[in-house]
């Protein structure tokens, strides 16, 4: 079999693993639970054991390297994980430790950056030289490619788009600041907006829905907005406006050709995307917005392992 790359996407609940060829095609893929017990000290061994089992049963020998996407703040040059709160790592030499076990070159990047690399290589990015990507889920993740290179910054914090301040007097964020983008534009932030409106307007249709169901989700809000609920339509509009505002400011710095939107919230469809696009056009310099296209990410959960494979190719200088 031709040379293959192992791509790994470590998440707080599951770790996704794939064998890919040099063109980015997935030969096989699977996932295993991520054990966060004892500060995640068994994660690397668990992953390698799973890979070893697969390699032995498939008789694949020609693995040339391993790419890993990991959560938290990462030093891409050394593969050091400064801190990954969700799995318990702190100052963890992930690349060096993994490499010592497998005797293969190992390269590590932040999981959001890895997903961006995957989308840009084989997804909606179309190998853009300048690109901004946002993942709208429980939080707001992101990544930036500038002049063909993923941005890391001095200590691995570049591209933390969810923590752009959009309202200094806004909601508290888990990062310790107030008014971060993800306090409004994430699934959690969207529900927070709804609960605030329910408190302010206890006789509204949205309040009645909440009283009957006992819960309201971001999907409920988008569904109600689609069916004409005025409060939910206003929430969607505000969310899109704040996202468009943040993206417009970023785009002034990066001047990208492509804006990618992914994650569960992006499945809301045209109602959110049109709102983001309108706000982006309103707030951005015309010269910036005229050359920039908003797209939905295409690769879903495969983006991480594909991006990890691309990272190996890039680091090894393979065409």
Segment 129-174, tens digit of pLDDT? 999 999 898 889 899 999 999 998 888 889 999 999 999 999 999 8
In 3D space, the residue among 299, 228, 301, 238 whose CA is nearest the CA of residue 272 turns out to be: 238
Alpha-carbon distance of 149 to 113, in angstroms, equals 10
Q: How far apart are the C-alpha atoms of 176 and 196, rounded to whole Å?
A: 21
CB atoms within 10 A of CB 49: 12
User: Distance (Å, rounded) from C-alpha 237 to C-alpha 273?
Assistant: 10
* CA 237 centroid distance within chain: 22
Other beta carbons less than 10 A from residue 82's beta carbon:
15
Q: Strand 26-33 vs strand 63-70: parallel, antiparallel, or unpaired?
A: unpaired
Between residues 210 and 59, which one has the greater pLDDT?
Answer: 210
Once rounded to an integer, what is the mean pLDDT over residues 109-122? 94
Pair of tokens at residue 26: 């997935």
Do the bridges between strand 131-136 and strand 106-110 make them parallel or antiparallel, or are there none, so unpaired?
A: unpaired
pLDDT of residue 57: 85
pLDDT tens track for 74-107: 998 999 999 888 899 999 999 999 999 998 999 9
pLDDT of residue 1: 54
Query: pTM to 2 decimals?
Result: 0.88
Residue 292 CA to chain centroid, in angstroms? 20
Q: Domains along the chain?
A: 4-120+301-316 (3.30.420.40), 128-297 (3.30.420.40)
What is the maximum span of the chain, computed from C-alpha positions, in angstroms?
A: 66
Using a 10 angstrom Cβ sphere, with 0-12 exposed, 13-18 middle and 19 or more buried, the burial of residue 219 is middle
């Amino acid at each position: 079999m031709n040379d293959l790359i192992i791509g790994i996407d470590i998440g707080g609940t599951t770790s996704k693993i794939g064998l890919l060829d040099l063109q980015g095609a997935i030969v096989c893929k699977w996932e295993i639970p991520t054990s966060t017990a004892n500060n995640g000290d068994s994660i690397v061994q668990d992953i390698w054991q799973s890979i070893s089992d697969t390699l032995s049963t498939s008789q694949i020998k020609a693995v040339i390297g391993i790419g890993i996407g990991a959560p938290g703040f990462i030093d891409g040059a050394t593969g050091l994980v400064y801190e990954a709160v969700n799995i318990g790592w702190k100052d963890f030499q992930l690349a060096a430790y993994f490499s010592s076990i497998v005797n293969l070159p190992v390269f590590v990047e932040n999981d959001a950056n890895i997903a961006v690399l995957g989308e840009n290589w084989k997804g909606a990015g179309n190998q853009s030289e300048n690109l901004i990507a946002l993942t709208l889920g429980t939080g707001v993740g992101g990544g930036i490619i500038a002049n063909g290179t993923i941005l890391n910054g001095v200590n691995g914090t570049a591209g933390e788009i969810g923590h752009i301040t959009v309202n200094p007097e806004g909601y508290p964020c888990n990062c310790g600041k107030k008014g971060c983008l993800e306090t409004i534009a994430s699934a959690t932030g969207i529900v927070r907006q709804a609960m605030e409106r329910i408190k302010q307007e206890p006789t509204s249709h949205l309040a009645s829905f909440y009283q009957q169901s006992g819960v309201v989700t971001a999907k409920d809000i988008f569904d109600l907005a689609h069916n004409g609920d005025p409060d939910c339509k206003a929430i969607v509009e505000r969310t899109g406006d704040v996202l468009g505002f943040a993206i417009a400011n970023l785009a002034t710095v990066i001047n990208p050709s492509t804006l990618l939107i992914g994650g569960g919230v992006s499945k809301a469809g045209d109602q959110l995307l049109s709102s983001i696009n309108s706000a982006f056009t309103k707030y951005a310099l015309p010269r910036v917005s005229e050359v920039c296209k908003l797209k939905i990410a295409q690769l879903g959960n495969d983006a991480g392992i594909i991006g990890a494979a691309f990272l190996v190719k890039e680091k090894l200088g393979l065409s």
